[in-house]
Structure 1
Amino acid sequence: MLNLKEVDVSYLLDDPKEVDSFLEDAWKTGDSAIIMRAIGMIAEHKEKNKSQIANETGISRSAIQKVFSESGNPTLSNFVGILKALDIKLHFELA
């Protein structure tokens, strides 16, 4: 049996290029739960709690809780609001 230990790599989130790669990798999965977990990790690293995000976005704290849950599926406006609150810019590129 393979025995893996948990490693804290949050220090990588201090580097904007690493954050870009981290978010891009999450986005490429196409899995909204993974994407929101990555965004949640960035929020934690920036020490923004869900109440602060709720205050900055005008979204209720319970809605923020749901968005960051395993079954969360944010509306586009909630998603954009959360990105703005965390100073994350979304870029689009034609394939």
Structure 2
Amino acid sequence: MDKVSTSLWDAADHLETKEDMAAYLEAALEDGDPNLIIAALGDIARSKGMTSIARETGLGRESLYKALSFDGNPEFMTVLKVVQALGLRLRATPI
């Protein structure tokens, strides 16, 4: 039997356009899990470069990595700064 090799899949490697990023974040928002939303923001930030996002937000790079991890718990102001730095916008729609 042949061995199958696998590798880790990282969403950040596949988020190339603003449309990709917006669709990814929208899917997380639709799911409604706060941890998933924060992790999706982290994936998007890593795809754009965490150093550049840290510079634009005025926050520390390591702090952003921690805050935007699946177990992170960022303040809402941090979320808004990151979303703006990513060139995205949060929207509310009726359900």
Q: Which has the higher contact order (CA 8 A, sep 6+)?
A: 2
Under a length normalisation based on structure 2, what TM-score does the superposition of the two structures give? 0.70
Within 5 Å, give how 1:16-95 maps onto structure 2: 16=19, 18-46=20-48, 48-49=49-50, 51-95=51-95
How far apart are 1:12 and its partner, in Å?
Answer: 6.0
- Tell me the SS of whatever aligns to 2:93: coil
- Tell me the SS of whatever aligns to 1:94: coil
RMSD: 2.7
Under a length normalisation based on structure 1, what TM-score does the superposition of the two structures give? 0.70
Question: What whole-Å deviation, never above 9, does each CA across 1:4-42 have from its counterpart, x for those lacking one?
Answer: x666775464361x4333212111222222112222222
Give the aligned length. Answer: 90
Tell me, in whole angstroms, the C-alpha distance in 2 between the residues paired with 1:59 and 1:12: 22
Distance 1:54 1:45, change over 3 A: closer
Identity of aligned residues (%): 30
Distance 1:58 1:19, change over 3 A: closer
